[in-house]
Chains A and B, each alone.
Chain A
Amino acid sequence: AQSVTQLGSHVSVSEGALVLLRCNYSSSVPPYLFWYVQYPNQGLQLLLKYTSAATLVKGINGFEAEFKKSETSFHLTKPSAHMSDAAEYFCAVSEASGTYKYIFGTGTRLKVLA
């Protein structure tokens, strides 16, 4: 069965610094991969998705993620953090079996320091 691991439940960065949120999945078959952001008292908003096209995926709000099959990773990055990036970020894998079900990571709360 698929699993998703997000290293670091809490990450703090200074405003203007690089943001790196880690996500590893367990599968020998490249699945669909997603990053979502959740602001307080809101639902999840799609940041970006990998669907076996380009390995470097650009999303909204300046975020991007790189799919690395050899490392089974899909880390999320942003060159320069902004205060408005403070939120919870979830990595998710869509099972390749066609069930359309997602497996979510436990989330990483990003704090941006002034």
Chain B
Amino acid sequence: EADIYQTPRYLVIGTGKKITLECSQTMGHDKMYWYQQDPGMELHLIHYSYGVNSTEKGDLSSESTVSRIRTEHFPLTLESARPSHTSQYLCASSDVGNTDTQYFGPGTRLTVL
């Protein structure tokens, strides 16, 4: 069982607010990922990290930013939330020694009014 946590699970905020979605894992995985998932759609990679102080943008353009100061922590920040940011955000981590199998957190469902 993977140990990867996301908070909050649900968030409803107003336009223009700054928010941070938290993601932590206790497995010591080097690689971490953020996906955006809309209903009925595939997951889109928006950010990933191969280790501390390493972050890259994913395949889907996103106005969010990420940081990786500690191995276990990979927060995602939106400086000014807009209704178009309404979505589910999933965090995952993987260990190259396990065929890069990705383990997912429970997700954060964000609604921007």
Contact = CB atoms under 8 A, between A and B. Distances in A.
Q: Do A and B come from one complex?
A: yes
Q: Does more than half of chain A's interface fall in helix, strand or loop, or is it mixed? A: strand
Interface in A22-58: 32, 34, 36, 41-46, 49, 51
Interface string B98-113: 0111111111010000
Given A32-B99, A43-B90, A49-B99, A102 B106 contact: no
Nearest to B59: A101
Interface string B1-14: 00010100100000
A33 to B, nearest CB: 10
Interface size class of B (residues with CB under 8 A): 20 to 34
A104 B44 CA distance: 8
Interface string A86-114: 00001000100000111011110000000
Interface in B56-111: 58-59, 90, 92, 94, 96, 99-107, 109
B106 A90 contact: no
A9 interface: yes
A105 B40 CA distance: 11
22 contacts: A34-B102, A41-B9, A41-B107, A41-B109, A42-B107, A43-B105, A43-B107, A44-B43, A44-B90, A44-B104, A46-B101, A46-B102, A46-B103, A90-B42, A90-B43, A94-B100, A100-B31, A100-B94, A101-B48, A101-B58, A102-B43, A107-B41
Interface of A: 4, 9, 32, 34, 36, 41-46, 49, 51, 90, 94, 100-102, 104-107
